[in-house]
Amino acid sequence: MDVLVVEEGPWIEPGSVAPFSLAEMDLAYRHHGSSAAMGNPPIAYAEGRCVGGSTEINSGLWAHPADEVVRGWASAFAIDELTPEVLADHAAQIETWVPVHTVPGPAPAASVVLARGADALGWRSTELPRAFAYDHRGRGTKQSMSRTLLPAAMAAGARVEAETRVTRLLLDRGRARGAAVVTTHPDGRRERRTIEADVVVCCAGAVQTPALLQRSGLRRGVGSGLRMHPTLKVVARFPEAVDPGDVPMHRITEFSPGLAIGGSASRPGHVALALLDRSAAGAEARDDWDHLAVYYAAIRSDRPGRVRALPGLRAPLVTYPVTDADLSRLTRGLVLLGEALLAAGAVELIPAVEGAPSARSVADLHHWWDAVDRRRASLMTVHLTSSIGMSEDPRRSRADSFGAIRGVAGLRVNDASLLPDAPGVNPQATVMAIAHRNAQNLLSTR
């Protein structure tokens, strides 16, 4: 097959930009990292906008959804050929191409903190593997798509066009014929043209894929099922240095899949953002950085959000409702996270809640129950899914079990927007396993 990959963002040479840096946010994130879903409260989120997408900017954590979650999806959403065993088989195939490993030797101190706190409280925890390759010295390199599958595809004859934005799909008499695009050349010149294709596969993510379909005239059953993992963060201070430069690999799984407790990027800029409502945030993040680390509590929420492409606007409107029950679960997660961090030796906990007091003991945590409300909670997420969904029931979704769009021959979706609900874990492994399953289905029909 003659394959062309079209990407709106730039090709960023692997290793040329420090991970989780301001430079990476400027080059590789949509809106330079400042996207938000409107709601009460709003939820900040991040999307990759570069060749390789969000695999270039995420932590590479490789988690499989709980078996009961996958079985529930297949049953509730009428999805063919979706079982834990099927997903595990496809994930195993991907792992032959994309190295997935746990950290050789001891994990960073900021990660071990979570396991230590869980052990002290008798809770379950686990160390997640990552899509990383390690050399003989234990130095890791993230195996993003620009390092792995895209170079392999190009070696087999695929072509990649970066800096090329798809403005709309070309649909004619119930069939996809290609796409209208705008290419930005190195000299800044913009060229409008069309690309013809027998098959069009949209893989622009849970926000941009439904927006593209809507701009192309496909609105029914598109964009109304958006799911996130709403997240609250805490900055923890420790008496000793905790090596916070990497994203923690450990997760507390005692309350999964409804509630996840883990660690975030903790470079000075991330710490300063988490301390934004404190006047001394910048100085604290700079002067005491190696003693600080950022952790989070994330939930599977009650109600879906929505993505809407609006006439005349390039960016879609994203909205997300946070229910009272969601806020209650987030507060419970924040308190449980606080218990674990104090049990692990933290001497101060600063929640990302405006005006909330710091906690230095378990007794202080009860103040957080009243502090978290819609006005003061700073919610964020990096996990977005389900804005199209897949189902054999045409009343539930425009996409069938394998991402084929009903009523438009030759058009498929194959990204995180197909997941029927938030998985409760880092979604990369799930998204890639389903994408591999769907690609095999596409090839079998050609």
With beta carbons less than 8 A apart as the criterion, state whether 433 and 91 touch.
yes
* CATH classification of the domain holding 257: 3.30.410
In this structure, is residue 339 part of a structural domain? yes
Give the number of domains in the chain.
1
Burial class (CB in 10 A: 0-12, 13-18, 19+), 151: middle
Give the pLDDT of residue 287: 66
Respond yes or no: is residue 291 known to be catalytic: no
Closest CA to 295 of 325, 332, 328, 252: 252
DSSP state of 55: G
**The length of the chain, given as a count of residues:** 446
Give the pLDDT of residue 39: 97
Give the pLDDT of residue 80: 97
In this structure, is residue 69 part of a structural domain? no
- Kindly give the confidence (pLDDT) of every residue in the chain, 446 residues in length, as a single tens digit, with 9 standing for 90 and above: 999 999 999 999 988 988 888 888 899 999 988 899 999 999 999 999 999 999 999 999 999 999 999 999 999 999 999 999 999 999 999 999 999 999 998 888 999 999 999 999 999 999 999 999 999 888 899 999 999 999 999 999 999 999 999 999 999 999 999 999 999 999 999 999 999 999 999 999 999 999 999 999 999 999 999 999 999 999 999 999 887 767 899 999 999 999 999 998 877 767 777 776 554 444 555 567 788 999 999 999 999 999 999 998 999 999 999 999 999 999 999 999 999 999 999 999 999 999 899 999 999 999 999 999 999 999 999 999 999 999 999 998 999 999 999 999 999 999 999 999 999 999 999 999 999 999 999 999 87
Rg (CA), the chain: 22
For 271, the domain range is 103-129+230-382
In this structure, is residue 367 part of a structural domain? yes
In this structure, is residue 175 part of a structural domain? no
Active-site choice (90, 250, 291, 383): 383
In this structure, is residue 304 part of a structural domain? yes
In this structure, is residue 124 part of a structural domain? yes
With beta carbons less than 8 A apart as the criterion, state whether 164 and 7 touch.
yes
In this structure, is residue 408 part of a structural domain? no
pTM of this prediction?
0.94
In this structure, is residue 311 part of a structural domain? yes
With beta carbons less than 8 A apart as the criterion, state whether 232 and 333 touch.
yes
Helix or strand (DSSP H, E) at 85: helix 84-95
